[in-house]
Amino acid sequence: MSAFIAFRTAAVSVLRPSRTQRLPPMYPFILSTSVRHMSMKHRSHPKNHQIPFEIVQLEDADGTLHHPHKLSKILETIDTDTHVVRLTSSSPPIVRIFTHAEDKARKVEVKAERKATETKRHIVNKESQMTWHTSGADFDHKVAKIHDDLSKGDVRMDVVFNPKPRVRNPLYPVMMEKVDQVMTRIADVGVEWRERDFKKGSLRLFVQSTVKKEKFKLPTQHEVEEIAHDETERQERQALRKKKREEESAKSELQRQEALAQREKEFAESGVFKS
């Protein structure tokens, strides 16, 4: 009996739902129901109805924070064709109102800064192979490809010269002459950075590009403004096209209703059902 009571006690403790965890007291104005369904895409700064919080604080351009308000009430005060409400902080939920041009300019700046921060110089390793008997157009093509890869910058290439199956290798001086031909043609974009590796009739040439990739440059304020201006004009054109479609649709619907009313009137005046 005591074993049964112990088992029932353990089962109840496992199956009983745990209490809902309370939010920290530093955010008393945000209830547990204030966070909307989070199945949306995980954007770092969602906008308008994509914002997953019901209660937010509005921040002015000068940094002034207003008292918590419902997001839906803030959205009612703006024209979404010209402005956007953007989440700038999640803890606590803070939003700002931008024009489309300001929002686009801000995103361009953030994206450029992130790319400049994340862009790190790294060496790309590649390999090119040919035989000691590669010649003519095939040899020219392979060397041109090596030159093209090295000219892109930050590249290391292993150029491998292999024996041709069932064919005797050329004499050593002839092989070295072919290697020197390759180095002469790529001298303006690459240099040897390791000692040549010659084993069992194969030679591996280690070449490194002398071309440096240009570092990513942040756009100027003027360029950011131009991008934002172009984006604003594009959105305005989209809004005009949308408005025109809606007007044409409303006009067509009105004409349809008028035609239907006219037919009903003519049918009624025809006296078909008069006795």
d(C-alpha 64, C-alpha 55), whole Å: 17
Q: How high is the pLDDT of residue 23?
A: 40
Q: How high is the pLDDT of residue 134?
A: 95
Q: How high is the pLDDT of residue 70?
A: 92
Q: Is the pLDDT of residue 50 over 70?
A: yes
Q: What is the mean pLDDT of residues 34-42?
A: 48
- Residue 7 CA: distances (Å) to CA of 4, 16, 18, 223: 5, 14, 19, 71
Q: What is the mean pLDDT of residues 17-45?
A: 48
d(C-alpha 199, C-alpha 235), whole Å: 64
d(C-alpha 68, C-alpha 124), whole Å: 52
Cα–chain center distance at 225: 21
The alpha-helical segments, DSSP class H, found in the chain are 2-15, 71-76, 100-118, 136-151, 172-185, 221-269
Q: Is the pLDDT of residue 3 over 60?
A: no
Q: How high is the pLDDT of residue 237?
A: 86
Q: Is the peptide bond before 92 cis (omega within 30 degrees of 0)?
A: yes
Q: What is the mean pLDDT of residues 28-45?
A: 50
For the chain, the distance separating the N- and C-terminal CA atoms, rounded to the nearest angstrom, is: 92
The contacts of residue 30 (CB under 8 Å, 6+ apart) are: 23, 53, 55, 68, 92, 93
Q: How high is the pLDDT of residue 14?
A: 43
User: Taking all residues of the chain, what is their mean pLDDT, rounded to a whole number?
Assistant: 81
- Tokens describing residue 217: 């440059």
Q: What is the mean pLDDT of residues 48-69?
A: 90
d(C-alpha 84, C-alpha 12), whole Å: 50
How does DSSP classify residue 40? S
Between 275 and 191, whose confidence is greater? Answer: 191
Instruction: Specify whether the CB–CB gap between 71 and 51 falls below 8 A.
Output: yes
167-176 pLDDT, tens digit per residue, is 999 999 999 9
Between 39 and 274, whose confidence is greater? Answer: 274
Q: How high is the pLDDT of residue 109?
A: 75
62-83 pLDDT, tens digit per residue, is 888 999 989 999 999 988 888 9
Q: Is the pLDDT of residue 266 over 50?
A: yes
In terms of Cα–Cα distance, which of 150, 146, 106, 98 is closest to 124? 150
All domains of the chain in start order, with CATH: 48-120 (3.10.20.80), 123-209 (3.30.110.10)
Instruction: Specify whether the CB–CB gap between 110 and 86 falls below 8 A.
Output: no
